[in-house]
């Protein structure tokens, strides 16, 4: 391979990567994280809030009329081409007889990475265990990123352990954007549950074969234009 061909190939590959992966990632911004719990419409209870990167909230003992929440915590962080919200509870117990649900909301705002294009993938996960179970227990978990809603996740929490994962491909996302996690939980009296959840937003990296095809195509365009220019000079 001649020097000119090597240079053209390197230039084409670099151009293809830049075009497909986008511009440089902006500086990481401070995030605002807030966690609340609410039993039906009885009014939200603030677990805590924090600003930073990462932003971290660690609660203690939180009581609602019929639920006891022990160490509800969360973290919001962003890195190059990745943003994430993590949340968990060490123990949630239904302390009194009622038909009320417990709603947990984790909201983090100020994310600036990743950017689109290229598209981003939202990964939504929840898992945990049910030390004290009942057939009536239900849970619905949902991740929302910049208005893009991952399909609801409703793992079975009637006993043992549980886990559910879903993802969503998004072509366009605002900057900055917000990540929200919501949990709608019903436990029968005396039931206990612990959980860990995450919402992760990452850039979709093109497959190596895609980059190779793009590079080959650009090399072809380079030599076609070079040959055409030479032909015009000879004709003149």
Residue 15 domain-assigned (yes or no): no
Q: What is the pLDDT of residue 29?
A: 80
How far apart are the C-alpha atoms of 55 and 178, rounded to whole Å? 14
Residue 226 domain-assigned (yes or no): no
Residue 89 domain-assigned (yes or no): yes
Mean pLDDT of 201-210: 72
Question: Looking at residue 68, which CATH number applies to its domain?
Answer: 2.60.120
pLDDT digits (tens, 9 = 90+) for 215-231: 455 445 454 455 655 55
Residue 195 domain-assigned (yes or no): yes
pLDDT digits (tens, 9 = 90+) for 15-36: 333 333 333 334 578 999 999 9
Per-residue confidence band for 205, with pLDDT thresholds at 50, 70 and 90? confident
Residue 52 domain-assigned (yes or no): yes
Buried b (16+ CB within 10 A) or exposed e, 19-57: eebeeebeebeebbbbbbbbbeeeeebebbebeebbbeb
Q: What is the pLDDT of residue 57?
A: 98
Residue 63 domain-assigned (yes or no): yes
Average pLDDT, the chain: 84
Check whether 233 has a pLDDT greater than 70.
no
pLDDT digits (tens, 9 = 90+) for 51-84: 999 999 999 999 999 999 999 999 999 998 999 9
Mean pLDDT of 166-182: 97
Residue 233 domain-assigned (yes or no): no
Q: What is the pLDDT of residue 18?
A: 35
Check whether 210 has a pLDDT greater than 60.
no
pLDDT digits (tens, 9 = 90+) for 104-148: 999 999 999 999 999 999 999 999 999 999 999 999 999 999 999
Print the domain residue range for 175. Answer: 31-203
Structure tokens at 211: 């980059």
pTM of this prediction? 0.77
Q: Domains in the chain: how many in total?
A: 1
Q: What is the pLDDT of residue 194?
A: 98
Residue 83 domain-assigned (yes or no): yes
Structure tokens at 74: 């969360």
Mean pLDDT of 159-172: 97
> What percent of the chain is predicted at pLDDT more than 90?
73
């Amino acid at each position: 391979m001649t020097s000119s061909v090597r240079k053209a190939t390197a230039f084409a590959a670099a151009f293809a990567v830049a075009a497909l992966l986008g511009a440089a990632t902006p500086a990481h911004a401070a995030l605002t994280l807030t966690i609340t719990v609410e039993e039906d419409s009885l009014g939200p209870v603030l677990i805590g809030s924090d600003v930073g990167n990462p932003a971290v909230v660690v609660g203690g003992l939180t009581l609602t009329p019929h639920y006891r929440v022990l160490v509800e915590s969360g973290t919001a962080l962003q890195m190059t081409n990745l943003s994430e919200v993590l949340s968990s509870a060490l123990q949630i117990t239904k302390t009194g007889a009622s038909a009320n649900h417990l709603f947990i909301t984790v909201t983090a705002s100020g994310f600036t990475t990743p950017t689109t294009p290229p598209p981003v993938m939202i990964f939504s996960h929840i898992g945990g265990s049910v030390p004290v179970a009942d057939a009536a227990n239900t849970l619905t978990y949902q991740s929302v990123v910049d208005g893009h809603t991952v399909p609801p996740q409703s793992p079975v929490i009637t006993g043992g352990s549980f886990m559910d994962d879903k993802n969503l491909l998004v072509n366009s996302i605002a900057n900055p954007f917000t990540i929200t996690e919501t949990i709608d939980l019903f436990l029968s009296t005396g039931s206990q549950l612990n959980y860990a959840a995450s919402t992760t937003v990452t850039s979709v990296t093109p497959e190596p074969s895609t980059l190779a095809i793009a590079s080959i195509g650009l090399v072809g365009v380079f030599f076609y234009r070079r040959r055409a220019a030479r032909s015009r000079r000879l004709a003149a």
